[in-house]
Every structure is written in C-alpha cells, then in structure tokens.
Amino acid sequence: MKKLVAAVVVAVSLAAVLAPAVASKPKKKKGGPVTVATDPDGDWGGNVNGAVGPVGAGVGQDLVEATISMADAKTINFVIKVAGLPPTGGVPEFARYGWDFTVNGEAFGMSGNFTDYGRGICYPLNTNSCPPPRDPGMQPFYIRQGPCTVGTGGPAECNLVATVNAAFDVAAGTITIPVPAEAIEAKPGSKIAPGSNASYAATIYAAPAALLSSANAPHDSMIGTATFTVPKRK
C-alpha cells in the first residue's frame, strides 16, 4: 500500500511539472486605448459618389478607426486613424477633422486641420469676441463646450475652451489630439461618450475645408459606439 501511495504521489508530481502552463488572461490596461468607432476604408465620398473613395486616402480623409486613451494623468489622447496621410502629414488649409462627444452628458466637440491659419488667427465660431490676431501653430485643434450651432440656420455659437496642437504620424496613419482633461471637465470616473455633429450627423468626420467645411461635399464620417471612462487614481 505504501508503495502504491508513493507511486501515485510521484505520478501526480510529474503531471504537475509536465503539464502545459495555462496562459493567464492579460490584464486590461487602465486608461485605454479604447476603440470608440470604426469605419471601412475606401468609402470616402460615398455620400456623393463611391467611385471617388481612393482619393480620400491620398488627402488623409479616409477614416478607419478612433480611439481614446490617457496620455498622462492630466491629458486625454483622442486618436483618429486614417487609411493614409500625405507624405508631409497633411495638406495645408485643406482637410478638416471633427469629433463631437459628451463628458458625463455635457456636450463638447473639436475640429482642426494640418494647418488652419485662415481660421485660427481669429476663430470665427467663438461665442466670445475674437481675440487679437495670433499664430495658431501647426496642426491646431479647437476644443469647444456646448452644442455648436454653426450650419443649423441660426447664429454660429461655439464656446472655445482650448486650442491644442495635434501630432500627424504618417507611418502609423494617425492624428493624435492631446486634450487637457481640465478643459473638458473630465475627472477620474468621468465617462466620455459619443456625440453627434449637427451638420454631419456623425461623431467624427473628415472633409475638405476652406475656412468652413460642408457636409454636401465628399467626406467620410464615423458614428461612435463605445464610451471611455477616465480611470480612477490609486
């Protein structure tokens, strides 16, 4: 009996040593990135003529994906991925990107370009009077609070709360917009959910622009489907 018990112990020990290790489930990283919207590539301009789709990648306007993540404790990265960007990163004064969202139900939005000197020197949609002329820098994105009524037939009212400079990464095909959490009143536990642009009826859009953009022109858009939660600090 002792020999039998000893044999069983040895067998169990060997089985434990030789058994394949069970891979532990990778932990989800706090702070993202969280994919909040996706879109097929090649569909730029489908609102006018689907045959013009390939042009969208050449001008950096063929949307593919959007993610949100924490850059650090005070900054939230909104990242737009496209099917391609021009070798320079973008076309000056031509392409506009917009993203509407809510923070705990409060409406926010932003729009920006590779360069936007025509609009950036004096943001024409600001509810407040234009500030003195200023250099908006490269890749400026204007962050606003509240629903923006431009293009709805009424007065163009947008409350500008911050201007940031995005990073256009040609190799990755991404446009990263670093948004100060304080500017959009986002705190640990805050929920950033998809909003909808009044003109484009979408969460995110990319369209040609000359001071203003038009939803009647060829463009691409995405409707957000997921919410990002600002992680709580330890």
Q: Do the domain assignments include residue 153?
A: yes
pLDDT computed for residue 28 by the predictor: 54
* Mean pLDDT on 151-176: 82
Does 13 fall in a domain?
no
Domain containing residue 161: 29-229
Mean pLDDT computed over every residue of the chain: 81
Q: What's the pLDDT tens digit per position in 99-156?
A: 999 999 999 999 999 988 877 666 666 555 566 666 788 999 989 887 666 555 555 5
Better-predicted residue by pLDDT, 210 or 164? 164
Identify the pLDDT of residue 9.
Answer: 33
Residue 187, in any domain of the structure = yes
pLDDT digits (tens, 9 = 90+) for 55-82: 888 999 999 999 999 999 999 999 999 9
Looking at residue 129, its pLDDT comes to 54
pLDDT number for residue 116? 84
What is the predicted pLDDT for the residue at 54? 84
Q: What is residue 126's predicted lDDT score, i.e. its pLDDT?
A: 56
For residue 19, tell me if it sits in a domain.
Answer: no
Q: Is the pLDDT of residue 25 over 60?
A: no
Mean pLDDT lowest for which of 124-133, 177-186, 206-215?
124-133
Residue 8 domain-assigned? no
Determine if the pTM surpasses 0.95: no
Q: Is residue 140 part of a domain?
A: yes
pLDDT given for residue 226 in this prediction: 97
CB 14 within 8 A of CB 6: no
Q: How confident is the model at residue 209 (pLDDT cuts 50, 70, 90)?
A: confident
Output the pLDDT for position 65.
98
Query: How many domains are there within the chain?
Result: 1
Mean pLDDT of the 85-94 span? 89
Q: With respect to residue 22, please indicate whether it lies within any of the assigned structural domains.
A: no
- Determine, yes or no, domain membership for 20: no
